[in-house]
Structure 1
Amino acid sequence: MPPRIIKYGLLCWLLILGGTGICQQALHLHSLNLEGISNTHVTCIYQDHQGFLWLGTVDGLNRFDGYEYLPFKDATGPANHSLSSNYITAIAEDAQQNLWIGTKYGLNRFDRATRTFTSYYAHEHDSLALPNNNIEVIFLDQEGRLWIGSWGGLSQYLPQKDAFRNYQKEAQNPNSLSGNIINKIIQDHKGRLWIGTNFSGVTVFSPEEGSFKRFFSNPVNHKSLSGNSVISLFEDSYQNIWVGTLKNGLNRYEENSQSFVHYQYDGSMHSIATNSIYSIMENMNRQLIVGGMQGGMSVYNRRSDTFIRYNTQGQINHNGNTASVLCHYTLKSGENIIATSNGTVNIYDNHPATFGLYQHHDKQNNSLSFNHVTALLEDKQGTLWIGTDGGGLNRFDPSSEQFTHFTKSTESSQLKDNTILALASDPSQRYLLLGTLLHGLAIFDRKNDTFRHYYPEADGSQQFAANTVHSIHLDAMQQIWLGTEKGLYSLQDIRQPHFQTLATEADIPQPITSLVKDSLGTLWIGTQEGLYFMDKYQKLQKFRFPQGQNPWITSLALENDHLWLSILGKGLFQLSITSNTWSPNAILPNTLGTNISSLLKDHQGNWWIVSEKALFKCKSLDTSPFLKIIRHYNQEDGLQDKAFSPNAAITTHNGSIYLGGALGMNRFHPDSLRTNPHQPPVSLTYFYQNDKEVHPGESPFLPLDISQTDTLRLPWRQASFAIKFAALNFIKPSKNQYAYQLEGYDTSWQMSHSNRMASYEQLSPGSYRFHVRASNHDGIWNDEGASVYILIERPWWAASEWYYGLAILLFCIAIGYLWQIRKKRVFLSSSQLQEAQAPHYLSYVNRRIDTVQAEEKPEDDFLKKAVSLVEDHLCNEDFDIATMGKELGTSRTQLYRKIKEQTGKTVSEFIKEIKLKHACQLLENTELSISEVAFQSGFKSLSHFSRTFQNSYGVSPSEYASQHQN
């Protein structure tokens, strides 16, 4: 057998092996949001001790908190304390936690407190200055020494002297650097510095001994370094030293023989993808990842001594021709970040949520027949049955992941409708029941793959008058229940179907969205206009909701003695079956802008709540006031980005969960959804007054950056402010959660998902502590968080001792004066006053009643409903004019016309007026903060609320509250 065949046969076997074999799956990469960065060509990345990410570019330095970039650039002018150059080449932190920035022209030390830079430049005749201004690398070793590599050699920073000790190449001295252009520095486990140079190989430097050892490329020695331009260095977790070169591939250093093993691109599929190695790193699985010029990433398999290639988006790419990896960095939490030549920065998620997605593909006959999945069912053999809206029925084999299609046909024994709304199996598991849109009930015989249809126009189906079957339920007694557009039916024997009509469309509103039967024998029926139930004696009743409501029930679920109802636009509610006790408040409020479409339970007892565009994992449903959400997932995790279909979700026998939606079918197993255990650092990021950021040094009360400030002392006239904060988690930061509290003012923690700013207006003089906690995208909280003490100083006149004496004296004089006036005035007695006023008052009341009765019009009922509707949805961000018209049963055009005729205002002005009146009531009768009033009145931001209120009433909200509460 030829050696080449033996080699690749062995390679295939190694890849099949589990354990240490590498799995050929896509890498879980997420792109950082680069909106606001000074330039998308990122040259270096660093995470400081606070957790902020620093990105150097060809046009400035940027601090990133996961949401916003704070850019720093060179500013012209003397003593400007800015960067020495905008071309950033290196970033590192020293033992004193000072941030050092290397540029193409000079070295900079950054002062976080004042946001200023101290620059260091080369001086030809100063031996303690830098030897060259072109800085390439900054490195902190294990002993806390800071090393700088430039185009003039190696420099060690001496903090006591604020100067540098320089090491350079000496032509006649072999115990010196091999070259003066330094590209890379690392330290190995023995404490030696490995120094990569341009054109001059590698030098190994022992600082304690002061000795240098050189390694060069020798064309006649195939075990020497493969190339002399070294641009990357790395020591892996197995203590191997890896050396990346420019155009000459990758090298692994053999300590015993002091030689190198070469890895180069040779055209084969399993070689490294490029010979110019810019980046070498290791992931949490101890796999070596090599990035370079136009080669993406190559992941090294130690067992087979080969590579698997990926592009810069994490997809397998055997060709290897893709964007370049320019630089990388490993975060303190273990995630790897890469900057690429196509202007992206991607982060490697070590704890991904793995969701599979099945979709229709035109060129694959065994793919899903149609993307819109509307119904799901698993049989006892583990086969999955899928109903679609336009693609008929699909049979799915989970082991082979192949789909078999059953679509509309003119043959009598085949399917007549491509829209399947519901699926169920009969007790024998031989027959499948399909609820269709236009052809009633279809019964599928799985033994011979034939269909029978029952609908009004079909032969012999006069007993079944429905063309549309919305829902099907098989209860514990093996009875089949059908919810149709013609009412409720039951079915006993599926082989010789006999349908019994239990309720007509006159008895139950349409459509019947869901059916479920409890342990007491009661059938619960969810409809578009409320909840109905039928007892074991087949007596139909309507459940009476409070205040005569008839909500749209989207799905039903049972646990123990409780029925769970998801109500469109309201959330998740609870009903006690045994006592008929209704929970007046939503267990899961509809605060996330989504409507619940399905409820299902996994094998560990956790409940999964499927909303329109998100998935929530919750602890077992119980009688607690609010549901405990463990985690939530959305499109960032791999879920389809369109709405999920109502009641199209199932848990299979092996624990997998399938979700059907408008873009296909998602599949996952709860055990595969790993949680990131890293508690994110939390920091205060910006301080605002009058909607403008206060920069350090701009105001006497904020001399330092807010992230470096322990105590804020504010004058009483400037006691209105806002603080912005961030959880420094860079994977899916939009899913971070926050809780903040101003101790001494807020009585409880204020919870927030998207709002990262806390605003306060006109705080009273005193001492406060602002404290913020946060979680990462997987719900892991940092309870320590970040905090700052805030002291609101008293006015000078209120702080003086003589002021109180003077105030008491003036108060006594005023009381005496008022007493004298009162003695001189003559008042009517109480009874006389009542007699004098009573006729006038009664006359006024009678006139008012007559006026109101005369003015009442039929349109008043519409207006009252409109006002009530807006008031009920003040805090619902998804409430808009379209929703308002739908709730009032009118079109958008009619809504505009009616509101205009009856109020003289547009719909937007009408809604704004109601919000402002609600805000006035809160300002007059509560002690809520201005920001709380704004939120509870339906305003999304404090600044927008303040401007709107000022424009409408001529005073600020705080002034209004002060006037009316006094």
Structure 2
Amino acid sequence: MQHCINRIVFLVLVLCAAFLNSLQAQDLTFVKVPLSRENGTGLIAGITQDKEGFLWLATHSGLHRYDGYQQVTYTNNRYNNNSLADNRLECILADHKGIIWIGVWANGLDRFEPKTGKFTHYRHDPQNPKSLSDDLVTSLLEDKEGNIWVGTHKGLNLLHPETGTFTRYQHDAADPKSISDNKVRAIYQDRQGTIWVGTGSPWESKPGEGGLNRFNPKTGTFDRFLHDTSNPKTLANNWVRAIYEDSRGVLWIGTFGDGLHQMDREKGTFTRFPYDAQHPEKLSRPYIDKEKQNDGINIIHEDHAGAIWIGTYDSGLNRYNPKTGKVTQYRKNGRNAAGLDDNNIWAAYSSREGSLWFGTANGNLFRLDPHRHRIPHIETGSEVYSFFEDPAGFMLIGTSKGLLRKNLKTGRIKRYLHKPADPASISSDTVYTIYKDRKGTIWLGGASGELSKYNPYTERFTRYQHDEKEPTSLSAGAIYAMLEDSQKNFWIATGYGLDKMDRVNATFTHHQHDPNNSASISHNRITSILEDSRGFLWLGTRFAGGINRYDVQSGTSKKYLLGNNIAKIFKDSQDVIWVATESSGIYYYKRTADAFIPFNLNQNESIIHIKDILEDDQQNLWFSSEEGLLKLNKDRNNVLLLGEPYGISSASLAFQAAYKDRGGKLYFGNNKGYYAFFPHQWHPNRHPPLVTLTGLRLFDKPVLPGKKSPLKAPLSDTDAIEFGPEQNVFSFDFTGIHFINPEQNKYLYKLENYDHDWRSSKTERVASYYNVPPGKYRFRVRASNSDDVWAEKAIAVRVKPPFWNTWWAYAIYSVMLLGFVVNFNRSQRQRLIRIERHRARERELAQAREISKAYKELKRTQAQLVQQEKLASLGELTAGIAHEIQNPLNFINNFAEVSSELAEELQHEFEAGEINEAKAIADTIKQNLDKIKLHGQRADRIVKGMLQHSRTSSGQKEPSDINALADEYMQLSYHGLRAKDKTFNATLQKDFGNRLDKVVVVPQELGRVLLNLFNNAFYAVQQKMKSAGSDYEPIVAVSTSRKEECVEIRIRDNGGGMTEAVKKKVFQPFFTTKPSGHGTGLGLSLSYDIITKGHGGEMYVDSVEGECTEFIIQLPVTVPATPSSMALDC
């Protein structure tokens, strides 16, 4: 029992696979390519594709190049040797270099270079054994090493392109290792590198001639495989026309008659697959017409999908599916023609993008896309508007002829029609919309204002219709959409407004357009309803009413897209609201802007009539339109059009007729039924077009390569092109070669640095530019296939400037301008020099007068400044002397006052007779008088010193006590500062040499120098006291010593010190570091002059910034001593 069940299951699976294979095969469609018939195409003997992507056809009317749009024909011109040798061609090959090789009937072999248009002819020469063995060339092969093999009616040839000679391999009846027959019909190299040669002709060979040959390249011999009537594992016929190895490694051999074989290359045996009329699905060649004596297998070819195609002389095609082992037949007037209206298959070829090509003996070219199948269409005999899958496994389909109920398991269909006499029948035969509410109730909307509630268990209907006498009845007009909102309100979009249904009481509330209320609905013809997350209802209307965002609570609406007819409002899984319009394409709602934005369909912008929207399980959006189905990917950046090539009839899709079932299958209604498919089954063709520049024109005239041409090489091999200044009107012809739906290929082009944006091109594949200014540019052209997969080609372009606008012209202009400027400058300079010399002489005279005057004024001012400095020094001295005099005067006054009091006491004592007391008082008075005399003498000396200092110096030098001068002026300076600042105190350190002889100096001048230095020292420590801490002790020190031939005086302070910059300038006139108004800057300068010039001595300064400063004076005793460098130790 279990064995039987297993067998039944196996048979079911086999039958299902066969059925699916049949369906898939039936979906394939042969597209006849419209070729020019001007000279008659004739038999298409061979098809190939070059590396640029062009398809080449070898026919009996010449050579044709095809790019998917137009063909270029090359024919024989007997007056031009650079043309085809003859128009009757037998075979063709495009080698890896892009060279086209053509086998010509009775006229040898032609080599054609498409880029240069050059033909080279190879002919049979009876006198030359290294020439082609025969002029009737029937087959060609380029092997893996790039060698060209040529089959003729008199043997096989190997071309040596470097010499143009051939090695011949011909039949020798006495040599069994020679080729079996000279009539070569097929040459093939398998993946192992073995070369196979098929020979024999049904029209010219005798029985027994022909056969299959395997070439041994080491020995130059052949292994023969021939028909043996007694051995069924040999060839069925010797006339071999087709040899092919498929992707699975199976080597197929096709011969005349019923000769389909698979070869076991190791054993050298063959398996025959004869035609079985009782089982046409079995592997074999196509149907055999016994009356056609010349019928046989002409081609065996594998397409990109892995199917094996077997073509015959006059019986059409078989498609073999290796996965299922089944065959599908295609033949003219057959049950499954699929567009094939010619049974005489002569050539087959697969182009790069996957197209399969068939050429026939009647000159027809067919193209097939083996990957792409037509979207299944189910005929219903009526227009389909709506779908609904109920939980019981039935699909409800609303049509123009009732409601269909399809059993999804069995496929059986039941139709429900309106019956006027049956109130439980459907209310209308035209079902626009089907909706299921949350309670599971199924509602049907009709074309004339009828609403039906469907009970799937009883298969009965409850009707709701418009009643003019009852205001709470359903509105009139067609029902386009229904919606149960989040508040469980049930809304119905009708041709006369929006109705809200009370499903318990079967009453309707109407929301309609009010011409007197701008906040009401814009139009009553409502086609679509959507509720958003905020509870607003979005209503789409027709008759230019646009969109209304309806607030149910207030009964008001906001308008959008007025002037548009709305087909559908849809919210996707990303919470974006999309709108399909009937005349302006697709929009999406941008919430931040509260506006609907047009969506760019890229190169499909002409598609503006959108009928419906839905989203698949992969989050792709699908739009039904007049041109077909538009698929917008999940990222919303790529649009794919599924139109006629996919089986979608243009303008056939119905309004609001899109649906997705629970399994993810999509349904789209049209005027004769509906399309149903799983979206993941339809993949775009990922092969981009081969973009090439096909032509260049100047002033609309073609440009060919040449020495005097801007094109130095073929355009396809050119990376850059240079135009002359007068060649600024040019155009590029271009194409994107992709043969699947080439009419849907799209183009963009741009001349960088000239065009701001990309330009689009559809029918005209040419880019024209006018009056392009000189400069460097880059021309770019982009092409896409019908599935929006893009490729690009670019070429650099330079328009040279005219000679007067070149760099070397500007260099000449610059030199000329420079010469002019130089000459002009020279003459101007000479003129200016003459003028300036005259002016200079005038200025010199004036300046001399001014200098003389200024000199006199300067001398007077200098004298005043010197006097001022002396007065300042005198003022400082006077202040110090005043302070010095004040002390002895205080003593004198005090002692005088005490003495006066003692004199009174003395008198009293005398009167009292106290002689002893009187004597003691008298002694005290005498002591006081002695002290008064002492302090008076001190004051006298101070006054004399003041008078001496204030006297005008006579300039007479005299021996002077340096220690006394230093001590005196130190005291005067210190007390002078204290007279101004009572708080100031400093430690005075004195270190006078004991054995210091008097030095001959001018005392007043030296005193002035010492006073200036002491003043500066006390000023420095006073200033540092203001910023230093309480632990700072101001010290000013003076020392004298004998140094060989000089006396040295050092005055040092521990004030703020000097920087190196200040030290360098300290003896310069008018230089001072004191604030403005506190010094003239002449003190140290005058002091320096007094010591160096007045006394022949030296004066130095040494200082450490922030720590101390020391001035050193060296006065000669006899001869001035040369000063030595001394370091300052602070």
TM-score w.r.t. the length of structure 2 is 0.64
Match of 1:387 among 374, 381, 398: 398
Contact 1:327 1:339 in 2 (8 A): yes
Contact 2:443 2:451 in 1 (8 A): no
Deviation at 1:99, TM superposition (A): 1.8
Distance 1:260 1:475, change over 3 A: same
Residue aligned with 1:648, SS: strand
Give, in whole Å, the separation in 2 of the partners of 1:426 and 1:51.
57
Give, in whole Å, the separation in 2 of the partners of 1:484 and 1:22.
46
Residue aligned with 1:429, SS: coil
Aligned to 1:858: none
Superimposed CA distance per residue, residues 691-725 of structure 1 (whole angstroms, 9 cap, x where no aligned partner)? 55445669823465432333333233232122122
Matched, 1:570 2:580: no
- Matches for 1:375-524 after TM superposition, within 5 Å: 375-389=386-400, 391-412=401-422, 413-434=424-445, 436-457=446-467, 463-493=473-503, 496-503=505-512, 507-508=520-521, 509-524=523-538
Contact 2:689 2:790 in 1 (8 A): yes
Give, in whole Å, the separation in 1 of the partners of 2:9 and 2:498.
64
Give, in whole Å, the separation in 1 of the partners of 2:559 and 2:372.
44
Superposed CA RMSD in Å reads 3.4
Deviates more, 1:660-669 or 1:691-700: 691-700
Matched, 1:194 2:208: no
Deviation at 1:457, TM superposition (A): 4.9
Deviation at 1:130, TM superposition (A): 1.0
Give, in whole Å, the separation in 2 of the partners of 1:657 and 1:688.
50
Deviation at 1:478, TM superposition (A): 3.7
Aligned-partner residue type, residue 573 of structure 1: Y
Aligned to 1:233: 243
Give, in whole Å, the separation in 2 of the partners of 1:243 and 1:48.
26
Aligned to 1:745: 754
Greater share of helix: 2
Give, in whole Å, the separation in 2 of the partners of 1:394 and 1:342.
47
Matched, 1:259 2:269: yes
Give, in whole Å, the separation in 2 of the partners of 1:240 and 1:694.
49
Residue aligned with 2:131, SS: coil
Give, in whole Å, the separation in 2 of the partners of 1:120 and 1:552.
69
Contact 1:455 1:461 in 2 (8 A): no
What count of residue pairs does the alignment treat as equivalent?
781
Matched, 1:655 2:668: no
Deviation at 1:480, TM superposition (A): 2.0
Match of 2:558 among 517, 542, 564: 542
Residue aligned with 1:267, SS: coil
Deviation at 1:663, TM superposition (A): 3.8
Matched, 1:36 2:36: yes
Contact 2:626 2:650 in 1 (8 A): no
Matched, 1:83 2:58: no
Aligned-partner residue type, residue 798 of structure 2: L
Superimposed CA distance per residue, residues 298-347 of structure 1 (whole angstroms, 9 cap, x where no aligned partner)? 233558866442347997479x9972322111234454322245654333
Aligned to 2:965: none
Deviation at 1:416, TM superposition (A): 4.4
Contact 1:103 1:134 in 2 (8 A): yes
Distance 1:307 1:806, change over 3 A: closer
Matched, 1:736 2:752: no
Contact 1:29 1:346 in 2 (8 A): no
Deviation at 1:408, TM superposition (A): 3.2
Which is greater in Rg? 2
Deviation at 1:458, TM superposition (A): 9.1
Matched, 1:679 2:679: no
Deviation at 1:562, TM superposition (A): 4.0
Contact 1:437 1:469 in 2 (8 A): yes
Aligned to 1:775: 784
Contact 1:249 1:274 in 2 (8 A): no
Matched, 1:100 2:101: yes
Aligned to 2:112: 110
Residue aligned with 1:124, SS: coil
Deviates more, 1:289-298 or 1:790-799: 790-799
Match of 2:549 among 527, 533, 538: 533
Give, in whole Å, the separation in 1 of the partners of 2:145 and 2:8.
48
Distance 1:472 1:260, change over 3 A: same
- Matches for 1:828-867 after TM superposition, within 5 Å: none
Aligned-partner residue type, residue 387 of structure 1: G
Match of 2:301 among 281, 284, 288: 281
TM-score w.r.t. the length of structure 1 is 0.74
Matched, 1:171 2:173: yes
Give, in whole Å, the separation in 2 of the partners of 1:261 and 1:800.
78
Contact 1:375 1:647 in 2 (8 A): yes
Give, in whole Å, the separation in 1 of the partners of 2:304 and 2:335.
19
Aligned-partner residue type, residue 43 of structure 1: A
Superimposed CA distance per residue, residues 135-189 of structure 1 (whole angstroms, 9 cap, x where no aligned partner)? 1111011222110001121010101211111111112111211111110001134
Aligned-partner residue type, residue 783 of structure 2: A
Contact 1:24 1:316 in 2 (8 A): no
Give, in whole Å, the separation in 2 of the partners of 1:210 and 1:45.
30
Distance 1:440 1:333, change over 3 A: closer
Deviation at 1:24, TM superposition (A): 5.2
Aligned-partner residue type, residue 133 of structure 2: P
Contact 1:227 1:246 in 2 (8 A): yes
Aligned-partner residue type, residue 786 of structure 1: K
Distance 1:329 1:655, change over 3 A: same
Residue aligned with 2:595, SS: coil
Aligned to 1:940: none
Give, in whole Å, the separation in 2 of the partners of 1:513 and 1:446.
26
Give, in whole Å, the separation in 2 of the partners of 1:213 and 1:145.
21
Superimposed CA distance per residue, residues 616-665 of structure 1 (whole angstroms, 9 cap, x where no aligned partner)? 222347xxxxx522422211112122242232111211111111223431
Contact 2:496 2:525 in 1 (8 A): no
Superimposed CA distance per residue, residues 239-263 of structure 1 (whole angstroms, 9 cap, x where no aligned partner)? 3322211224212223344222222
Aligned-partner residue type, residue 687 of structure 1: L
Give, in whole Å, the separation in 2 of the partners of 1:236 and 1:181.
25
Which runs of 5 or more residues in structure 1 are unaligned?
Answer: 1-7, 360-367, 622-626, 814-966
Q: What is the percent sequence identity of the aligned residues?
A: 27
Superimposed CA distance per residue, residues 509-565 of structure 1 (whole angstroms, 9 cap, x where no aligned partner)? 1321211111211111111212223224151223255xxx43322221124554322
Superimposed CA distance per residue, residues 807-839 of structure 1 (whole angstroms, 9 cap, x where no aligned partner)? 9999x99xxxxxxxxxxxxxxxxxxxxxxxxxx
Give, in whole Å, the separation in 2 of the partners of 1:313 and 1:599.
40
Contact 1:723 1:759 in 2 (8 A): yes
- Matches for 1:5-20 after TM superposition, within 5 Å: 15-16=14-15
Which runs of 5 or more residues in structure 2 are unaligned?
Answer: 1-6, 289-295, 821-1130
Aligned-partner residue type, residue 93 of structure 1: A
Give, in whole Å, the separation in 2 of the partners of 1:609 and 1:94.
45
Residue aligned with 2:726, SS: helix
Give, in whole Å, the separation in 1 of the partners of 2:802 and 2:171.
67
Aligned to 1:146: 148
Aligned to 2:644: 635
Aligned to 2:315: 295
Distance 1:133 1:13, change over 3 A: farther
Give, in whole Å, the separation in 2 of the partners of 1:24 and 1:643.
23
Aligned-partner residue type, residue 419 of structure 2: S
Contact 1:28 1:314 in 2 (8 A): no
Aligned to 1:710: 719
Deviation at 1:285, TM superposition (A): 4.5
Aligned-partner residue type, residue 678 of structure 1: H
Distance 1:36 1:696, change over 3 A: farther
Residue aligned with 1:25, SS: helix
Residue aligned with 1:734, SS: helix
Aligned-partner residue type, residue 33 of structure 1: V
Deviation at 1:686, TM superposition (A): 2.6
Give, in whole Å, the separation in 2 of the partners of 1:505 and 1:385.
37
Deviation at 1:740, TM superposition (A): 2.5
Aligned-partner residue type, residue 110 of structure 1: F
